[in-house]
Structure 1
Amino acid sequence: MTKIFISFLCVVHSIGFANDYIHVDSRVRRYPHFKEIHDLGYRIQNDFKTDKERVRAAFIWLTINMTYERVIEENLNQKVYISFKDERAKHKQLRDIALNKIEKSFALRKGVCTDYSLILNELCMQFGLPTKVIVGVSKTEINSNISENLIKNHTWNAVQIGGTWQLMDPTWASGFIDTRSKKFVRKHIEHFFFTDPEDFAKHNLPNNEEWQLLREPVSAKEFYSAPYYYPEFFGKGIALSSNTNGILKKSDETINYIYFDKLPPQHGMYYMVHGTGELRRLGFKKLAKNAYVSKIRLKKKLYKDHSLLTVFMDEKPILNFKIEDLYTNQIIKKTPNNEQQKNPNSLDLK
């Protein structure tokens, strides 16, 4: 089973959106050191008046101050057990455990996705906003034979502002782990703040489908059999068709099709099969309006030892596809009604 590690080297330049928060980001970057999380929360409440600005301030503080690193307890895989007589006692114990975890990670300025999410959730609670830590999976592979019972490996956040729930992933927005140095590299990625639910469902799948915030939730099989989307894919005016599968077939006769429901006027793309080091231009045939199709033939002998194909645009990787032998796995096709950062030198932050 091919693992695809997420690259955070690409940043989505949502210029207009990010510019709305320049004054917020600038002020937060000048904040002094806070010993207690509630001191940070009070400062944010005093500095900013709107809910959006306060949530943005909390989010940015996390991305510029927290370091992704497992603490000793997590390296030892220690489990916490609780006993309770009623729901009230259960809630209190869980709350105490969460607060203890928040205090430790806030003091150390380090943690994993759970710590990032708990801190952001606590600050949003202090602002008086409905808030939720979402548990689910982050996409780290393309697999057509995935089970619906997935092992949860990631957490992120939802916050309600003005009656609308917004999705955020402060962990993925903060940076990546370099596989060579094994060190955290800070790299802000704007895409993971107030992300459109349709786009969010391409890389994060909640355990409870309600938190996809979609009218037609994506299934686990649809999620994993789709291509892998780099953050650079979003905001470019590109939309893949539901007919495009994330798994390409390797054969001397078979032609693979990548269908686009929408492309920008300038849509020059290249692709590379990992291991070959050779960039090839991706050709397009127009179907209707902005819809296009690209054809790729993967010769069995030439690509015998390679199982990953990356599509580039503006010299940035935007999509990954898995390459399988024609008869190795059964390919699951997606239905038209269910449309839906990876670099070998980086690891995903779970």
Structure 2
Amino acid sequence: MSKLLFSFLFLVSFLAFPNEYERIDRKVRNYPNFKNIHDLGYRIQNDFTTDEERVRAAFVWLTQNMIYIKTFDDTFKTSRIISYQSEYGRQKQIREVVLGWIEKAFRTRKGVCLEYSLILNELCLQFGLPSKVIAGIAKTDIRSSEVDQTYKNHTWNAVQIDGIWKLMDPTWASGHLDLVSQKFIRKQLDHYYFTSPSEFIKHHFPTNEEWQLLDNPVNLKHFLSAPIYLTDFFGKGIELSPKTKGIFSISSEDNNYIYFDQLPRDHGMYYWVHGSSEIRKMGFKKGTDKSYISKIRLKKKLPKNHNLLTVFMDDKPILNFKIIEKQATN
């Protein structure tokens, strides 16, 4: 009887979790227009009581109100020269610069990843929570060689709740920029909210290894050469093997394979080479190490720009691979 009761309570709590977020999200979506970030922070603190509720409210406000856009000012933004005679003076001037960025982005409701991260960080600090803006590499392409370790193209956030650091990316959670129309398409993606470190490292690589929040950190070379994990990959009960590389070669002496460590029985996967009209269903065989192996068949010659292969599951793209003419050398 006790086991049955435990199972019932677990199920109820599991189902209540997203419903609780729905309550928060709905309330935040009906917020009025705030003149400054501190008024927004005070409203959130009055409306919600727990740290997690407040962070969720701040996160959702960003996804619903900010527009990702790179303005002329962002493109040609000049560095501000600061002079100081003490560490206190340096920190004070840096703080003034940061507040200027935050105030402008909040007023215009426009910005790029840095503005998104700074606003969320400022709200978390207002709530009295340890909070960090994390700089690093967002995975947008697949490379066979490393880049400079100091290279950064993205920022995201970490906040500490009940002694545990949580990762989130309010920029990627807000939607995407349509490459054809150059218009921002708003779509809230909760995958990037409190994402588990083991999933977050699949698309975000922090410059400081500490912020991977992993017992066994991933190295940069593996991160860059792995496939691109698309949002619909997650939550489907699949796990790609570390043996799977993100680069296929049409002139390789070795066959091109995709390895899965975990795979549902009815997966219905297929793949498509961009620009072609051919779609191939993926077949699998069991490997000696209990992995699932699928052979990818590529034509010996592909037309120009046919250099990307996408894997689909349930008719949704889940993985991208790069196709090259020759086998990559390391």
State the TM-score, normalizing by the size of structure 2. 0.91
Q: Where in structure 1 are there 5+ consecutive unaligned residues?
A: 1-13, 333-350
Q: Residues 252 and 300 of structure 1 are in contact (CA less than 8 Å); yes or no, is this contact kept in structure 2?
A: no
Larger radius of gyration: 2
* Cα distance change of structure 1 residues 246 and 252 upon mapping to structure 2, 3 Å threshold: closer
Root mean square deviation of aligned Cα? 1.9
1:250/1:20 Cα in 2 relative to 1: closer, same or farther (>3 Å)? Answer: farther
Deviation at 1:106, TM superposition (A): 0.4
Which sections of structure 2, spanning at least 5 residues, go unmatched?
A: 1-13
Q: Report runs of 4+ in structure 1 exceeding 6 Å deviation.
A: none
Which aligned pairs between 1:73-222 and structure 2 lie closer than 5 A? 73-222=73-222
Indicate conservation of the 8 Å contact 2:252/2:326, yes or no.
no
- What letter is aligned with 2:173? A
Q: Distance in 1 between matches of 2:69 and 2:252?
A: 46
**2:249 aligned partner:** 249
- Cα distance between partner residues in 2 of 1:227 and 1:298: 17
Residue deviations 1:240-264 (CA, integer Å, cap 9, x gap): 1111111112138642111100012
Q: Which moved more, 1:89-98 or 1:16-25?
A: 16-25
Cα distance between partner residues in 1 of 2:150 and 2:249: 25
Pairwise CA distance, 1:290? 6.7
Q: What are the within-5 Å matches in structure 2 for residues 325-340 of structure 1?
A: 325-327=325-327, 329-330=328-329
Tell me the CA shift for residue 16 of structure 1. Answer: 7.5
Tell me which protein shows more helix as a share of its residues.
2
The equivalent residue for 1:299 is 299
Q: Are the aligned partners of 1:255 and 1:298 in contact in 2 as well (CA < 8 Å)?
A: no
Contact 1:139 1:224 in 2 (8 A): yes
**Deviation per CA, 1:185-218, whole angstroms, max 9, x where unpaired?**
1111110000011111111111101011011111
What is the CA–CA distance in structure 1 between the aligned matches of 2:125 and 2:79, rounded to whole Å?
26
Whether the 8 Å contact between 1:252 and 1:297 is mirrored in structure 2 is no
Q: Contact 1:148 / 1:220 at 8 angstroms: preserved in 2? A: no
CA positional deviation for 1:85: 1.3
Of residues 182-191 and 160-169 in structure 1, the stretch that sits farther from structure 2 once superposed is 182-191
1:37-56 to 2 correspondences below 5 Å = 37-56=37-56
What whole-Å deviation, never above 9, does each CA across 1:71-107 have from its counterpart, x for those lacking one?
A: 4421323222212112111111111111111111101
Task: Between the two structures, name the one with larger relative contact order (CA 8 Å, sep ≥ 6).
Answer: 1
Residue 266 (structure 1) aligned with residue 285 (structure 2)? no
CA-CA distance at 1:18 after TM superposition: 3.7
Percent identity (aligned): 59
